[in-house]
Amino acid sequence: MRTEISTLGEFGLIEHLTKNIQLKNESSLKGVGDDAAVLHYPEKEVLVTTDLLLEGIHFDLTYVPLKHLGYKSAAVNFSDIYAMNGQPKQITVSLGISKRFSVEDLEDFYEGLQLACEVYAVDLVGGDTTSSLTGLTISITCIGEGEKDKIVYRNGAKDTDLICVSGDLGAAYMGLQLLEREKSVFDGKSDFAPDFAGKEYLLERQLKPEARKDIVEVLTKEGIVPSSMMDISDGLASELLHICKQSQVGCRLFEERIPIDYQTAVMAEQFNLNVTTVALSGGEDYELIFTVPLHQHDKVSSMKGVHVIGHITSDSLGRYLVTRDGAEIELKAQGWNSLS
C-alpha cells in the first residue's frame, strides 16, 4: 500500500501525522498548529540543541528502517540534553521529503519518533515539512530543562578529576561496518540472507541507540554533579579532547580501562581493526563521558554501567592515551567527522 504525499498536501500531511499527539509535560503549553509552540519554564533554565541528519551522509535507507530512524533521530537529540545534566521535554521535527517517500513511509518514521518521545517523556511540539529534490532531510531541535546550579558544561574539568564513561564504546561503529559489509555482499542478489546471528547487540547500537537518561538519574540520586560532561557522538578521543581544550587541562586515558563489549572486540578482529582505535574514533556511541572530583572515586566506581577510564592532569602534561604496555601516545581526534 502506497499513498502519495501529494494526495494530502503539506498541511494535510502534518495534520495526518500529528493528529494523535497529546502534550504531557507541564512545560508544553501549545504544540503543533500555530506559528510557534509555546513553552513554560519559570523555574528552570531552558536547554536547546539541534541536529541535522541527511540521507547519504548520516543514514542509508537500504538498511535503516524508517521507524528506527525516527527513534534514533529523536534519541540522539535527547542525548545532548542529558549531556548537560538536563531533562529533554520537547522536540520539533522538520522533514524534507522527496517523491520517493509515501505517506506510509512517514507514518513509520513518526511511529519511531513518537515511541522515543514516549520512552523519554518528551512532547513533539512543532516542525516544518517540505518537499525535497533528493532524499530525506531531518532536522530536530530538542528543548529541555536544567537546574541552574546543576547544568554541566564541557569546560569544568579540573586537574586530578576522574574521567568516567557510561556503557561500552565502539559497538555502533562495528554495527555500521557490519551493515555496510552485508550491503556490499548483497549487491542485488534476490536470495540474499544477511548474516547477523550473534551480532544483534552491534546492530541495535547502530540502528536504535538509547540516550543515557538512566545515568543522569543515578548521578542525581547519588548527589553527584560532574565537573564536565559530553555525549560521545564523534568518538571518545574527539570528545575527551573537547573537554580538555575547553577546560584547559590535560589527561591520561588508560587503554585497558576503555569498556568494550565482547561482540565489538570479535567483530573488530574479523574486520582487522584495532579495537582501541574503534572505541576512540568510532562514532555514534551516545554514551556519556564525564569528570568528577577524585574524592568521588568510590561512588562512581560502584555505579552500575560507569567506568573510570583515566584522569585529568594539568594542561602542561598534555593529552595522552596510556597503552597496555605503559607507552604514552598523544590523543588525536582522527574520528568520525562528517566534514573531513
Question: What is the rounded distance in angstroms from the CA atom of residue 289 to the CA atom of residue 236?
Answer: 8
Q: Tell whether residue 153 is a contact of a second copy (CB under 8 A).
A: yes
- What is the amino acid identity at position 271? F
Q: Is 9 in the site for a second copy (CB under 8 A)?
A: yes
Q: Considering the complex, state which of residue 76 and residue 275 has its C-beta at the smaller distance from a second copy.
A: 76
Residue 109 or 267 having the CB closest to a second copy: 109
Among 3, 25, 94, 102, binds a second copy (CB under 8 A): 94
Among residues 21, 61, 115, 151, the one that binds a second copy under rule CB under 8 A: 151
Binding mask 239-278 for a second copy (x = CB under 8 A): -------x--------------------------------
The closest of 62, 38, 217, 298 to 143, measured between CA atoms, is 38
Nearest to 91 by CA among 100, 108, 79: 79
Q: Are 300 and 164 in contact (CB under 8 A)?
A: yes
Asked if 141 touches a second copy (CB under 8 A), the answer is: yes
Is 107 near a second copy (CB under 8 A)? no
Binding to a second copy, residues 51-90 (CB under 8 A) = 51-52, 54-58, 80-81, 83-84, 86, 90
CB of 206 to a second copy, least distance (A): 18
If one asks whether residue 3 binds a second copy (CB under 8 A), the answer comes out as: no
- Region from 5-13, 102-110, 166-174, 308-316 binding a second copy, contact rule CB under 8 A: 5-13
Cβ atoms of 320 and 253 within 8 Å: the answer is: yes
The reply to whether 130 sits near a second copy by the rule CB under 8 A is yes
Residue 327 in the binding site for a second copy (CB under 8 A)? no
Among the residues of 248-322, which ranges form H helices? 262-270, 275-281, 297-301
In whole angstroms, give the CA distance from residue 256 to residue 163.
14
37 vs 172, which CB is nearer to a second copy? 37
DSSP 170: S
Residue 340 in the binding site for a second copy (CB under 8 A): yes
* Region binding a second copy by CB under 8 A among candidate stretches 91-99, 247-255, 259-267, 293-301: 91-99
Which residues share a beta bridge with 314? 249
Helix, strand, or coil here: 321?
strand
Burial class (CB in 10 A: 0-12, 13-18, 19+), 328: middle
